[in-house]
Amino acid sequence: MPIDVLNLADKLARFSERWSPRVVAEVNDYQIKLAKFEGTFVWHAHDDTDEAFLVLAGAMRIEFRDRVAHLAEGDLCVVPKGTEHRPSADAECHVLLIEPRGVVNTGDAGVDRRAANDVWV
Amino acid sequence: MPIDVLNLADKLARFSERWSPRVVAEVNDYQIKLAKFEGTFVWHAHDDTDEAFLVLAGAMRIEFRDRVAHLAEGDLCVVPKGTEHRPSADAECHVLLIEPRGVVNTGDAGVDRRAANDVWV
Greatest C-alpha distance within chain B: 45
A–B CB contacts, 8 A cutoff, strictly below: 103
For the domain covering A8-100, report its CATH number: 2.60.120.10
A112 vs A43: CA distance, rounded Å: 12
Query: Measured at the alpha carbon of residue A68, what is the angle toward residues A62 and A71, in degrees to the nearest 5?
Result: 55
Nearest to B46 by CA among B78, B75, B90: B78
Nearest to B118 by CA among B24, B4, B46: B24
Averaged pLDDT of chain B: 96
Nearest to B19 by CA among B92, B68, B73: B92
Cβ neighbourhood burial of B15 (10 Å; 0-12, 13-18, 19+): middle
B31 vs A12: CA distance, rounded Å: 24
Average pLDDT over residues B58-86: 97
User: What is the dihedral sign for C-alpha B49, B54, B57, B58?
Assistant: positive
Q: Name the closest residue on chain B to residue A25, using Cα atoms.
A: B78
pLDDT in the model for residue A31: 98
CB pair distance less than 8 Å for A77 and B49: no
Note down pLDDT in tens along chain A; length 121 residues: 568 999 999 999 999 999 999 999 999 999 999 999 999 999 999 999 999 999 999 999 999 999 999 999 999 999 999 999 999 999 999 999 999 999 999 999 988 899 998 999 9
The proportion of chain B whose per-residue pLDDT surpasses 70, expressed as a percent, equals 98
Task: Give chain A positions within 8 Å (CB) of B30.
Answer: 27, 30, 98
Q: pLDDT tens digit string along B2-53? A: 689 999 999 999 999 999 999 999 999 999 999 999 999 999 999 999 999 9
User: Does the predicted TM-score (pTM) go above 0.80?
Assistant: yes
pLDDT in the model for residue A10: 98
DSSP string, A60-75: EEEE-SS-EEEE-TTE
Nearest to B84 by CA among B53, B106, B114: B106
Task: Give chain B positions within 8 Å (CB) of A57.
Answer: none
What ipTM goes with this model? 0.96
Whether B97 and chain A come into contact, CB under 8 Å, resolves to no
* Model confidence at B54: pLDDT above 90: yes
B33 vs A22: CA distance, rounded Å: 22
CA distance B54 to chain A (A): 9
Task: Give chain B positions within 8 Å (CB) of A100.
Answer: 28
* Model confidence at B1: pLDDT above 80: no
CB pair distance less than 8 Å for B26 and A50: yes
CB pair distance less than 8 Å for B28 and A9: no
